[in-house]
Amino acid sequence: MTQPRYTAANLIDFTASLFTAAGMPRDRAEVVGKYLVEGDLMGHDTHGMAQAPGYLNNLLEGKMPAAGEIDVISDKTVASVWDGQYLSGVWLTWKAVDEASRRAKEHGLAAISIRRSHHIACLAAFLEIATDQGLAVLLVCSDPSVKAVAPFGATEPLFTPNPIAFGYPTSGDPVLIDISASGTTMGLAMRAKGEGGRLPGEWLIGADGKATDDPEALFTDPPGAFLPLGGMDRGHKGFGLGLMAEALTSGLNGFGRSQAPTQWGASVYVQVIDPEAFGGREAFEHETGFLAEACRAARPIPGTTGARMPGDGALSRKRAALADGVLLHPSILPSLTPLAEKLGVALPEAQ
Amino acid sequence: MTQPRYTAANLIDFTASLFTAAGMPRDRAEVVGKYLVEGDLMGHDTHGMAQAPGYLNNLLEGKMPAAGEIDVISDKTVASVWDGQYLSGVWLTWKAVDEASRRAKEHGLAAISIRRSHHIACLAAFLEIATDQGLAVLLVCSDPSVKAVAPFGATEPLFTPNPIAFGYPTSGDPVLIDISASGTTMGLAMRAKGEGGRLPGEWLIGADGKATDDPEALFTDPPGAFLPLGGMDRGHKGFGLGLMAEALTSGLNGFGRSQAPTQWGASVYVQVIDPEAFGGREAFEHETGFLAEACRAARPIPGTTGARMPGDGALSRKRAALADGVLLHPSILPSLTPLAEKLGVALPEAQ
């Protein structure tokens, strides 16, 4: 049986229609649809439409307000704090990258830290908003309501995987980095657990202090935890990155774990840099393009095709999906079908 | 035999006197002495006074100018590029952190990217300049004249370990993160090679594509390389961090690997953030202090003392060294003795 393929436009319209039917203004719902589907186009399929059921349920329960405005807590020319009021994190992040890009083009750099955002889905999906304008962008988030990763040297989960995404333009394709400061992400661990399987590496630590690939280690009493990036020997490095993310998000916006929030959400940091204000866009893209080409041409590990730049795979999957149609992960539409029926939204038609 | 101990003041004076005798103005030489010895105080003894012989030789050969001014390439309010002219990187970095701190206090954030700096020694040594003022600081560097780390998926060395340091204040001690985007650093690999030993982990990749702990793998023909942080399975993450560092340094300042420089040096990025311009210094330090205490108290790996915050060890070593005297790594004074004799500078007296 051939798997069905969908056009990106149909998936965006379907997703936007679900959010609209659940009460969100259509213009915001279209932003949410666009950046969720962008995750699937890039192949980051745990952080695209797979997040929609959780968001829609929070919307229907009133935990994510359907509408309402951002509360601007502080606003200097290049430094702002927004209280996102748990509005859609996808919409808030899009808006923050857009606004910080505008300000960076005027001043060279600009940052916005957002407290009490809802979950923001796939960080990589937002980077091209800036790189398409010749800008570099740093996007970081944490969730102060969730404890998953242990500090290096401990087994107790205390903070989140804390993704750090950084996008920048080159003379060719942009480079789109999106890594968590832990060995693996919540999405992948939960998918492995759901399938009764193991992770591809020992990226967790059991309560016994031993590295493991078994996602069940997260559910013992007391629980184990995600290991920081670098694992049992180099995990002080991932721990440092995770702490940096916590400082840029909940530190700068002043709302975090000390308040012990329980609502699923995100604390977000967006910073945009305009190379034109430094050594110039042309010199920047020449230099970054030179290194990208050198990396792609580097002597490969024997028997492999060698190095790809971060984003190369995602951009190639996106181009293929736009040309040939999107193959959704098989769990996605079944998870949305009950909500689509409840909200009276027709499932997307295959190509 | 008891190892000799030295006062920090004597070591700073000795180091400053060497640089002065080699032609550097005394005020700059004192900055160099202070921040090199700071590395030894913190226990980062491959990146403190151990760097002085290399710097002095470059100074005597005219490869590091003894004096001269920074060439300011571009200067917007919060975004600047300096051409460091290969002046002392320690002096340039001190000056950039100081200047960016002043600007951040006015505008919320400020960044300076420096091309053609000389080597900058221990990044962690500069962080307290900002954290003592309640500021957060990001300090990143690369050296476009050196190829050591392979892209993830390749065995060919193409860029440097690219340290990323981030310091921020808390309600208690500051957090001082200083990590490289590779599994290990040049200093540690060279020390292991010199001693004919192995590294503590398989942080290198041989030309055969296999992970190894043997530093000799860097000197085969063709050579192996440093693995990015994350190693053989998660190395795409360290690769991403290394690329981010290259973009912030040589990308933004417009001088890097595409020009194939041969002079030992550094491409540096300094960015300072003032929490007061975001959610406020008090809220920032409350939040970061809360998480730091939670991490220190986290359930430890059985049989260990548990987690320390980045910087805890360095600050504790520094306090002990200031109270009891500095124990230098045994290789350091012997490596400086011929230069001290040549320059007519007396060796430091032990306590």
Per-residue pLDDT of B180-214, as tens digits, reads 999 988 878 888 888 889 999 999 999 999 999 99
Measure in Å the smallest separation between the Cα of B350 and chain A Cα atoms: 34
Contact A159, A250 (CB under 8 A): no
Residues B125-161 pLDDT 10s: 999 999 999 999 999 999 999 999 999 999 999 999 9
CB contact under 8 A, A254 and B300: no
Are B155 and A301 within 8 A, CB to CB? yes
Q: What is the pLDDT of residue B1?
A: 58
In chain B, residues with a C-beta closer than 8 Å to the C-beta of A108 are: 76-79, 111
Residue B220 has pLDDT above 70, yes or no: yes
Binary contact (A80, B278; C-beta < 8 A): yes
Q: Is the Cβ pair B115, A222 closer than 8 Å?
A: no
User: Strand runs (DSSP E) across B210-319, as ranges?
Assistant: 211-212, 225-226, 266-273
Residue of B nearest to A259 (CA): B287
Q: Which domains does chain B have, with CATH numbers?
A: 74-183+227-310 (3.30.1370.60)
Rounded to the nearest angstrom, the minimum Cα separation between A195 and chain B is: 22
- DSSP 3-state helix, strand, coil percentages of chain A (rounded to 5)? 45, 15, 40
Order of strands, sheet of B204-205, starting from the edge strand that comes earlier in the sequence? B211-212, B204-205, B225-226
Q: Which chain B positions have a beta carbon within 8 Å of A243's beta carbon?
A: 175, 177, 291, 295, 309-310
Neighboring chain B residues of A290 at a CB cutoff of 8 Å: 256-258
In this predicted structure, the answer to whether residue A1 has a pLDDT above a threshold of 80 is no
Nearest residue, CB atoms, B151 vs list A153, A298, A303? A298
Å from A298 to nearest chain B CA? 6
Task: Look at residue B16 in the predicted model and tell me its pLDDT.
Answer: 98
Residue scoring higher pLDDT (B7 or A184): B7
Nearest by CB to residue A209, choosing from B159, B288, B301, is: B301
Main-chain dihedrals φ then ψ at residue B262, nearest 5 degrees: -115, -15
Q: How far apart are CA B162 and CA B138, in angstroms?
A: 13
pLDDT by residue (tens digit) across A313-351?
999 999 999 999 999 999 999 999 999 999 999 999 999
Task: Please report residues of B whose CB lies closer than 8 A to that of A226.
Answer: none
* The amino acid at A196: G
Mean pLDDT in residue range B59-73: 97
User: Which single residue is written with the structure tokens 């080597």?
Assistant: B119
Q: Is A156 within 8 Å of B252 when comparing Cβ atoms?
A: no
Under an 8 A CB cutoff, do A73 and B279 touch?
yes
| Mean per-residue pLDDT of chain B | 97
H or E stretch including A87? none
Q: Is the ipTM of this structure higher than 0.90?
A: yes
Best of B78, B131, B270 to disrupt the A interface (most A CBs within 10 Å) is B78
Quick one: which of A230, A236, A152 has its CA closest to B177? Answer: A236
pLDDT at B2 over 80: no
Chain A residues within an 8 Å CB radius of B153: 298, 300-301, 304-308
Over residues B278-286, the mean pLDDT reads 98
User: What are the chain B neighbours of A257 within 8 Å (beta carbons)?
Assistant: 287, 290-291, 294
- Nearest by CB to A278, from B108, B237, B253: name it: B253
Spatial contact of B217 and B206, defined as CB atoms under 8 Å apart: yes
Q: Around Cβ B32, how many Cβ atoms within 10 Å?
A: 26
Mean pLDDT of the A97-120 span: 98
Interface with chain A: mutation pick from B75, B109, B271, highest number of A CBs within 10 Å:
B109
What is the per-residue pLDDT for A190?
86
Report the amino acid identity of residue B150: A
Report residue A142's pLDDT band, with 50, 70 and 90 as the boundaries: very high
Average pLDDT over residues A265-284: 98
| Lowest-pLDDT range of A34-48, A182-196, A235-249, A252-266 | A182-196
Q: Do B209 and A303 touch (CB under 8 A)?
A: yes
A278 and B80: CB-CB below 8 Å? yes
CB contact under 8 A, A290 and B237: no
Sign of CA dihedral A297, A300, A303, A304: negative
Cα gap A139→A163, rounded to integer Å: 8
For the segment A201-224, what is each residue's pLDDT rounded down to a tens digit? 999 999 999 999 999 999 999 999
Quick one: pLDDT at residue A287? Answer: 98
Chain A CB contacts of B175 below 8 Å = 243, 247
Mutating which of B103, B253, B295, B304 best tests the A interface, going by the most A Cβ atoms within 10 A?
B295
Per-residue pLDDT at A191? 83
Token pair for residue A302?
């024997």
- CA distance linking residue A168 with residue A249, whole number of Å: 21
Contacts with A261 from chain B: Cβ below 8 Å: none
Tell me whether residues B243 and A152 touch, CB distance under 8 A.
no
Interchain pair B279, A111: CB under 8 A: no
Q: Do A177 and B244 touch (CB under 8 A)?
A: yes
Q: β-strand B204-205 against B211-212: which pairing, if any?
A: antiparallel
To the nearest whole Å, the CA of B135 is away from the closest chain A CA by 11
Contact B234 A302 (CB under 8 A): no
**Residue B115: is its pLDDT beyond 80?**
yes
Q: Do B252 and A76 touch (CB under 8 A)?
A: no
| pLDDT above 70: percentage of residues in chain A | 100
Q: Tell me if B284 and A201 make a contact (CB, 8 A cut-off).
A: no
Question: Of the candidates A237, A248, A298, which has its C-beta nearest B179's C-beta?
Answer: A237
How many A/B residue pairs have CB atoms within 8 Å?
306
Amino acid A196: pLDDT: 86
Mean pLDDT of B251-277: 98
Q: How far is B287 from chain A (nearest CA, A)?
A: 6
Question: In sequence order, which ranges of A184-230 are alpha helices (DSSP H)?
Answer: 186-194
Question: A19-23, A125-129, A208-212, B191-195: which has the minimum mean pLDDT?
Answer: B191-195
Q: Which residues pair with B81 in a beta bridge?
A: B74, B113
* Lowest-confidence segment of A273-287, A327-341, B97-111, B176-190 by average pLDDT: B176-190
pLDDT at B304 over 90: yes
Q: Which tokens go with B298?
A: 């986290």
Closest Cα of chain B to A342: distance in Å?
41
Chain B positions in Cβ-Cβ contact with residue A139 (cut-off 8 Å):
none
Q: Do B291 and A115 touch (CB under 8 A)?
A: no
Does the model's pTM come out above 0.90? yes
Judged by CB atoms closer than 8 Å, whether chains meet at A78 and B290 is answered as: no
On average, the pLDDT of chain A sits at: 97
Q: Which of B109, B158, B208 sits opposite A111 (nearest CB)?
A: B109
Q: Average pLDDT in the A86-97 region?
A: 98
* Burial label, B339 (beta-carbon count in 10 A; 0-12, 13-18, 19+): middle
